[in-house]
Structure 1
Amino acid sequence: MRATTIHGPGDIRFTEVPDPVIAAPTDAIVKVTGSCICGSDLWHFRGENGPIDEPRTIGHECVGIVEEVGPQVRRFKAGDHVLVPFCQCDNTCPNCQVGVQSACVNGAMTASGQAEYARVAQADGSLVRTEGVPDAATMPAMLALTDVMATGWHAAVSAGVRPGSTVAVVGDGAVGLCGVLAASVLGAERIIALSRHADRQRIARAYGATDVIAERGEDAVAALKELTGGVKADAVLECVGTDQAMRTAFDVARAGATVGMVGAPHGVELPLRTMFSKNIGLAGGVAPVRRYLPELLDLTLEGRIDPGRVFDVTLPLDRVAEGYAAMDERRAIKVALTPIS
């Protein structure tokens, strides 16, 4: 098959690789009908996740049609259209049972989402069926559910967003914007988005942000304190993963607040003295997508949320390298990829 492969920092190619095969009786092979590039893929693209010793496939967000299933798969059959959570799970292990499907003891990650086919481990526990094939209008939202919408939702849930609360969202990428949307759905009264980019600010406001702060660092903290009368935020969503973003998140959190962390951490040092002295908590981590997917799918189909608005560029799969460059250079918020014939 043809797939996106990474060969080194900044080196993305669309190449021929072996077809995925049923490796375990619980596997399924999915023909990818839609995929996209994630902000977390950029850590690899920029060389921030360590050396790439040999070329490998990349991409973990996709939807598609079941092509083949292993002998122990009972809930799905060839021809089913499905959402593929980026973190796969059996949905029955002790970790799954307490809602942490992202730490499933039999879990796996989608390894070739930006390709023609993907293997899904634990198909019965991972996949979520949709009615028919999403059309061009609904495909972006379906794609967003496989990662960024669920991850933004996880940030809001982990931070304890409640009706009437004041929420600050650090990060204006697709996850941060989905965090704004999640906070709105969960009933936050005031949602303060930290964003310096006009295109992202517009989506944040459309998703429910009541205020936007364009400053960074100490200036952002001062601006938020002024907006809240010095109280600061009841809940904070950290959707970046850098040390600066984490410091800002704790600096804008009121005493007793919780920071919901979903940005993949790189070089982060926690302010333990601040956490201790002000009773500020930290929760979150890798989003248990399968836990949230049924509710988020219902919200999407009911028209209550449209997470697909975070996609502002669509390219055919064989131009995937252009998509990586556009996101890396912040010329795109999130890039959708369409199959090629």
Structure 2
Amino acid sequence: MTNRTRSNQQVTNQKAKLEMKAAIFNGKGTITVEDRPKPTINEPTDAVVRVVLACVCGSDLWFYRGISELAHGGVGHEFIGVVDEVGGEVKDLAVGDFVISPSSWSDGTCRNCQHGFHTACVHGGFFGQGGDGDGGQAEYVRVPHADGTLVKVEGSDFSDETLASLLALTDVMATGYHAAVSADVQQGQTVAVVGDGAVGLCGVLASKLLGAQRVIVLGSSHEDRHALAREFGATDIISVRGGEAVEQLKALTDGFGADAVLECVGTKASVEAAFAVAAAGAIVGRVGVPHDVELDAEGTFYRNVGMRGGPAPARAYQPELLKQVLDGSINPGKVFDASFDLDDIAAAYAAMDERRVIKALVKVGELA
């Protein structure tokens, strides 16, 4: 190798260290993979994570379809990976640690975090908000408040199935669980889950974890979703929508409705159905990002129907859910029914948008 060739190779290697591939939102229906600067430590409480797995969220489809506004730039808020670099004030993590991240960063110390609402952290924020923000669908992510955000996973030898379930804890399983907790699902209850997407399916699994005796899913006509819902614990599937779906659920519950309801979609029709199937005194746990939704305040008042929920504070649930994944009690990673490389992430978005897959897993790097 000549000196000039060696010098060119060194420049190429140095450039590779400073750049990364990242999924970039460039407008409605357009996701590209571009070279972007590798993130660096901005604050002493930061960490940089080398991403192993990421995925496409149902909420990503809102901006992809042009329904919600999002600044053009990096996207994605679900990722697991390996700590690549830490700031000087990071105490609980070290380079080489395998970690899972929630969809938002949080300091873990403010009043809201201490009460379990990390998504309302006074120093927090969400990954993948476009612009110059850090998106999880990339080779590297900068994580603010790393000690309060990231959860270390002991071990390094995991099956692909376990890794998928660990990825599910970053958002989708935690969100389904938040819906069930918000609805106050209790032992022996009849629970209605509105939506058979990945969040709704995880809501079924969460309802069974909390002791529901009967879980009725109001969803679509997709048999693959029905099969997984039943595997996760659903006892009944309603595949029609609107008033007919409400009538069928009422018929299944002696005309009274469900003891607890999980709203996992966020559309006007799904929210209306969720409150319509709630029995008197029930709580609707809503986690679907609301779009064009108006609530019937008077109607819910006279039926004593309550409402709780919002963005899932995944960080609050991850330690306990992590134990259940590692001991084999739950396998939420089954919601991933297709996988794509980062270079093909546009195809992953299209597949979910067209409902050809339940949830798309994105392979980014290696754990080792």
**TM class by shorter-chain length?**
over 0.9
Confirm or deny: 8 A CA contact 1:92 1:125 kept in the other structure: yes
Match among 97, 110, 114 for residue 137 of structure 2:
114
Confirm or deny: 8 A CA contact 2:53 2:365 kept in the other structure: no
Q: Which residue of 2 aligns with 1:195?
A: 219
AA paired with 1:64? G
Confirm or deny: 8 A CA contact 1:238 1:260 kept in the other structure: yes
Confirm or deny: 8 A CA contact 1:4 1:15 kept in the other structure: yes
Q: Which residue of 1 aligns with 2:117?
A: 100
In 1, Cα distance between equivalents of 2:245 and 2:150 = 41
Give the CA deviation at 1:89: 0.9
Q: How does 1:45-56 map to 2 (within 5 A)?
A: 45-50=64-69, 52=71, 55-56=72-73
In 1, Cα distance between equivalents of 2:348 and 2:215 = 30
**5+ residue gaps, structure 1:** none
AA paired with 2:136? G
Q: Which residue of 1 aligns with 2:170?
A: 146
Match among 22, 32, 37 for residue 41 of structure 2:
22
In 1, Cα distance between equivalents of 2:292 and 2:59 = 15
Q: Which residue of 1 aligns with 2:310?
A: 285
Confirm or deny: 8 A CA contact 1:327 1:334 kept in the other structure: yes
Give the CA deviation at 1:18: 1.6
Confirm or deny: 8 A CA contact 1:169 1:176 kept in the other structure: yes
**5+ residue gaps, structure 2:** 1-19, 129-134
Q: Which residue of 2 aligns with 1:173?
A: 197
2:178 paired with 1:159? no
Match among 70, 95, 108 for residue 78 of structure 1:
95
Give secondary structure in 2 for the equivalent of 1:17: strand
Q: Which residue of 2 aligns with 1:135?
A: 159
Q: Which residue of 2 aligns with 1:39?
A: 58
2:241 paired with 1:213? no
Q: Which residue of 2 aligns with 1:327?
A: 352
Give the CA deviation at 1:51: 5.9
Q: Which residue of 2 aligns with 1:12?
A: 31
Give secondary structure in 2 for the equivalent of 1:206: helix
Confirm or deny: 8 A CA contact 1:241 1:262 kept in the other structure: yes
CA deviation vs aligned residue, 1:228-263 (integer Å, no higher than 9, x gap): 111110100000011110000000000110000000
In 2, Cα distance between equivalents of 1:94 and 1:137 = 36
CA deviation vs aligned residue, 1:196-226 (integer Å, no higher than 9, x gap): 2111011100000010111100000000011
Relative to the length of structure 1, the TM-score reads 0.98
2:202 paired with 1:185? no
In 1, Cα distance between equivalents of 2:260 and 2:238 = 16
Match among 56, 77, 80 for residue 60 of structure 1:
77
AA paired with 2:166? M
Q: Which residue of 1 aligns with 2:15?
A: none
Confirm or deny: 8 A CA contact 2:41 2:47 kept in the other structure: yes
Give secondary structure in 1 for the equivalent of 2:99: strand
AA paired with 1:216? R
Give secondary structure in 2 for the equivalent of 1:331: coil
Give secondary structure in 1 for the equivalent of 2:62: helix
Give the CA deviation at 1:110: 2.1
In 2, Cα distance between equivalents of 1:22 and 1:78 = 13
Give the CA deviation at 1:135: 3.3
In 2, Cα distance between equivalents of 1:322 and 1:245 = 27
In 2, Cα distance between equivalents of 1:311 and 1:185 = 20
Q: Which residue of 2 aligns with 1:125?
A: 148
Match among 1, 18, 21 for residue 2 of structure 1:
21
Confirm or deny: 8 A CA contact 2:57 2:359 kept in the other structure: yes
In 2, Cα distance between equivalents of 1:186 and 1:29 = 35
